[in-house]
Structure 1
Amino acid sequence: MKFLVYAVGNRMPHWIATGFEEYAIRMPREAAVELREVKPEKNDGRSAAQRLVVEAARIRAVLPPGCRVVAMDERGEQWTTAGLAESIAGWMRDGRDVAFVVGGADGLDGTIRASADRVLALSALTLPHGLVRVILAEQLYRAVSLIKGHPYHRT
Structure 2
Amino acid sequence: MKIIFISVGKAKKPYFKDAAEHYMKRIKSYCRFERVEVKEETYNAGVPLQELLKKEAGRIIGAIGNGVFSVALSENGKQMTSRALAGFIHEFMAGGRSGKKDIAFIVGGPYGLHASVLEVSDMALSLSAMTLPHDMAGVMLAEQVYRAFTIIKGEPYSH
Question: Fold conserved (TM > 0.5)?
Answer: yes
Q: TM-score range by the shorter chain?
A: over 0.9
Alpha-carbon distance in structure 2 between the residues aligned to 1:27 and 1:101 = 16
Matched, 1:71 2:76: no
How much has 1:30 moved relative to structure 2?
4.0
TM-score normalised to structure 1 length: 0.93
Residue type matched to 1:18 in 2?
Answer: D
> SS at 1:125's partner residue?
coil
Partner residue, 1:31: 31
**Preserved contact between residue 67 and residue 99 of structure 1 (Cα < 8 Å):** yes
Partner residue, 2:56: 55
User: Aligned-pair RMSD on alpha carbons?
Assistant: 1.4
Partner residue, 2:153: 148
**Preserved contact between residue 68 and residue 104 of structure 2 (Cα < 8 Å):** yes
> SS at 1:18's partner residue?
helix
Matched, 1:127 2:128: no
**Preserved contact between residue 2 and residue 30 of structure 1 (Cα < 8 Å):** no
Say how many residue pairs are matched: 154
TM-score normalised to structure 2 length: 0.91
Alpha-carbon distance in structure 1 between the residues aligned to 2:152 and 2:28 = 12
How much has 1:26 moved relative to structure 2?
1.7
Give unmatched runs, 5+ long, in structure 2.
none
Query: Please, which moves more after superposition, 22-31 or 49-58?
Result: 22-31
Deviations 1:79-100 (A, max 9, x none): 0111101111101112522111
How much has 1:54 moved relative to structure 2?
0.6
How much has 1:2 moved relative to structure 2?
1.9
Alpha-carbon distance in structure 2 between the residues aligned to 1:125 and 1:20 = 20
Alpha-carbon distance in structure 2 between the residues aligned to 1:70 and 1:98 = 7
4+ long deviations beyond 6 Å:
none
Q: What is the aligned-residue identity percentage?
A: 39
> SS at 2:94's partner residue?
helix
